[in-house]
């Protein structure tokens, strides 16, 4: 029997996830065990999961998963690098394979890109690019090009995370093999595709009270309470407006004075969106700010993360 690990959020669990389970067993055999390492109540983009973690876990088990473990929040709210490294660290002692979606789906290319990111010359080149004041994703791609490597895999969201999984496996010398699944459709599609729905599209349907049931393999979510950032906004604002300077300074992702800029805007702006829009710049991605605000709301410091 082979054991396959899947690092996931299932926000929500949908037909594409069920298709991944089916593909795993077609490839490795019906006796393959699937272990899902799933984010809990909060997900990597810095928001609450739309449904309770127990329902999302149950949906995975009813659809073919054998075991669902919770990814600790310090990894779940981390960057793509931290998210992947934490997941690999937990799964590698007992999983033979790591299966994940990727736009390219080419194992050799993913591993080659990951290996390039671990080369000593990449770090120095990346620092030089960041000193130009550009965002991290842009600087990373430029550093790879400077090394003569292809940066094409760092342009699509699933490929970016797939490369981080590969990088974590190489860095940790983990014994797992990779099993990439070519991701059909677009990760950010706002219209739900009948065969390859995006979680982004399904969350939009759910939040707007529209029918999402054709895109999920279970009725578990039909009458389930919905959790959104908007519903918790007042509580988050109350927390942000009463934080001390020291608490802001202790936040993850707040280097280069970003914590100070966030602190000032939290005391000036009226809504979360206004705060994030005022802090966002060409240098700092929105996802980084979203995670920073969520960590502030939950009392998570850089020592924890």
Give tens-digit pLDDT for 22-42. 999 999 999 999 999 999 999
Instruction: Give the pLDDT confidence of 145-193 residue by residue, as tens digits.
Output: 888 887 787 888 889 999 999 999 999 999 999 999 987 755 455 567 7
Instruction: Give the pLDDT confidence of 79-100 residue by residue, as tens digits.
Output: 999 999 999 999 999 999 999 9
- How far apart are the two ends of the chain, measured CA to CA in Å? 35
Looking at residue 152, its pLDDT comes to 80
pLDDT, mean over the chain: 92
Q: How far apart are CA 50 and CA 116, in angstroms?
A: 36
Rg, Å, the chain Cα set: 20
Q: How far apart are CA 196 and CA 199, in angstroms?
A: 10
Bridge partners for 36 per DSSP: 6, 68
Length of the chain: 305
Bridge partners for 39 per DSSP: 71
Mean pLDDT across the stretch 255-284? 92
Structure token pair of residue 198: 């995006």
10 Å Cβ neighbour count for 152? 14
User: Looking at the predicted structure, is the pLDDT value of residue 299 above 70?
Assistant: yes
Q: At what angle do helices 120-130 and 136-146 cross, to 10 degrees?
A: 130
- The CA-atom distances, in angstroms, between 72 and each of 78, 86, 212 are 10, 8, 28
């Amino acid at each position: 029997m082979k054991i396959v690990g899947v690092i996931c959020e299932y926000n929500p669990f949908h037909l594409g996830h069920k298709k991944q389970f089916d593909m795993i067993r077609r490839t490795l055999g019906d006796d393959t065990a699937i272990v899902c390492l799933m984010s809990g109540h909060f997900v990597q983009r810095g928001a609450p999961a739309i449904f309770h973690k127990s329902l999302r876990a149950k949906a995975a088990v009813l659809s073919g998963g054998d075991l669902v473990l919770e990814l600790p929040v310090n990894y779940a709210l981390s960057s793509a690098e931290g998210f992947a490294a934490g997941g690999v660290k937990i799964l590698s002692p007992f999983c033979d394979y790591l299966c994940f979606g990727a736009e390219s789906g080419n194992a050799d290319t993913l591993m080659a890109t990951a290996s390039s990111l671990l080369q000593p010359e990449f770090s120095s080149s990346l620092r030089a690019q960041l000193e130009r004041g550009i965002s991290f994703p842009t600087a990373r791609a430029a550093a790879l090009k400077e090394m003569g490597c292809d940066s094409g895999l760092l342009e699509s969201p699933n490929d970016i995370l797939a490369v981080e999984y590969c990088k974590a496996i190489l860095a940790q010398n983990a014994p797992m093999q990779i099993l990439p699944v070519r991701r059909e459709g677009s990760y950010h599609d706002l219209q739900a595709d009948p065969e390859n729905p995006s979680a982004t599209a399904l969350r939009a349907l759910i939040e707007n009270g529209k029918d999402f049931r054709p895109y999920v393999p279970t009725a578990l979510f039909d009458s389930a309470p919905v959790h959104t950032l908007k519903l918790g906004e007042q509580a988050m604002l109350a927390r942000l407006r009463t934080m001390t300077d020291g608490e802001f300074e202790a936040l993850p992702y707040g280097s280069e004075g970003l914590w100070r800029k966030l602190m000032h805007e939290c005391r000036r702006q009226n809504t979360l969106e206004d705060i994030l829009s005022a802090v966002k710049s060409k240098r700092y991605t929105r996802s980084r700010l979203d995670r920073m605000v969520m960590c502030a709301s939950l009392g998570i410091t850089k020592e924890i993360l």
